[in-house]
Copies of this chain bind each other. A is one copy, B any other.
Amino acid sequence: LEKLNEYLQFIEEELSKLNINGKPSELYEPIKYTLSLGGKRIRPVLTLISCEAFGGSKDQALNAALAIEVFHNFTLLHDDIMDNAPLRRTKETVHVKWNPNIAILSGDAMFVLSQQLLLKSETDSLIKCLILFNKTAIEVCEGQQLDMNFEKQEYVSIPSYINMIGLKTAVLLACSLKIGALIAGSNDEDAQHIYNYGYNLGVAFQLQDDILDVYADPNKFGKQVGGDIISNKKTFLLLKAMELSKLNHYKESELKMWMQAGQEHAKEKVEAVTLLYDFLGVKEIALKEVDKYHHVALTSLDKINLNENQKKVFYDFAHFLMKRDL
């Protein structure tokens, strides 16, 4: 998968060439800043890979790939206002560095910019791509609203949680792949299969993230292990633990007690809740769930009418995504 790095670099270069120097600068500087913060650029890379796998070229898919990355960064910008997040990729968020009004408006402008980039794609399937892009955009809004709703709810069912991460994260990965396929001229069935591959892989990835937050090797994990536990984030692990502990009144009380613990007990809380998770076996249940979605993703891949060599990049990518240390 040395291709990933090559494509990442290509996207990074092309993003920096976007020449976002319009007036007034108060509108455009925050957009330049946001796009310069870096990131894995996984979505646009998937668009390029998909277009090539289906017989197109990466240049053909470039504008669409950039559109998706700009859209993704627009959602991060507005999410950061809503979450009142001070930092994004270790740098000040736009609403802190400038102010919330500028963050709202430059986010809106980024969303327009993403539509304009997609409109620049020269492809017979442009209308199809635009329809998919906007369907995905509204789903991402729904996912973000559900995520905010869940923070205020005492309990969230596992299917609701999976639905939320599907909308907030997986549909855009799926869309990135499908748009690449459509631009290459794939048929509708194959385009749907690669969409399903992306969707299920996205859900698997997000669930794996929940597990890693608790069980990652602290030396290899970029963030603080146990961060989700400290903030009572309603992850798959916590929701499953809440569900299972209902059958054990003692454990249920213990979990509730730790969820009310103050910041000064963060370290003990992480240890205690992790032990509870171990006792209830939620890690194994979560791993099985990851496997389930991973498997559905691969099954979708099997159905695509391309030869194994053409599909290799997708198998490799799924493997690469899922082999993060646990």
Question: Hey, which bits of chain A sit against chain B, CB under 8 A?
Answer: 22-24, 26-27, 78, 81-82, 100-102, 104-105, 107-109, 111-113, 115-116, 119, 126-127, 130-131, 134-135, 137-138, 141-142, 144-146, 148-149
Contacts and interface: CB of A to CB of B under 8 A. Distances in A.
A27 B81 contact: no
Contacts of A113: 138
A264 to B, nearest CB: 29
Contacts of A145: 24, 26-27, 102, 105
Contact of A105 (B24, B78, B112, B135): B78
B119 A130 contact: yes
A113 to B, nearest CB: 7
Contacts of A102: 145
Contact of A141 (B109, B115, B137, B138): B109
B112 A149 contact: no
Contacts of A104: 78, 81-82, 104
Given A101-B148, A126-B127, A134-B115, A142 B108 contact: no
6 contacts: A105-B148, A108-B141, A112-B138, A112-B141, A116-B135, A127-B127
A109 B138 contact: yes
Sorted nearest first, the 10 A-B pairs with minimum C-beta distance are A27-B145, A82-B101, A109-B141, A112-B137, A112-B138, A115-B134, A24-B145, A116-B134, A112-B134, A26-B145
A284 B183 CA distance: 58
Contacts of A130: 115, 119, 130
Contacts of A134: 112, 115-116, 119
Nearest to A84: B101
Tally of this chain's copies:
2
A90 to B, nearest CB: 24
Contact of A24 (B82, B100, B149): B149
Given A27-B141, A81-B104, 8 more contacts: A82-B101, A104-B104, A105-B145, A105-B148, A108-B111, A108-B141, A116-B131, A116-B134
Contact of A146 (B24, B112, B119, B137): B24
Contacts of A111: 108, 111
A270 to B, nearest CB: 29
Contacts of A137: 112, 115
A126 B81 CA distance: 34
A49 B119 CA distance: 27
Contacts of A131: 116, 119
A119 B22 CA distance: 27
Contacts of A100: 100
B78 A108 contact: yes
A189 to B, nearest CB: 23
Contacts of A119: 127, 130-131, 134
Contacts of A148: 26, 101, 105
A20 to B, nearest CB: 11
A269 B146 CA distance: 49
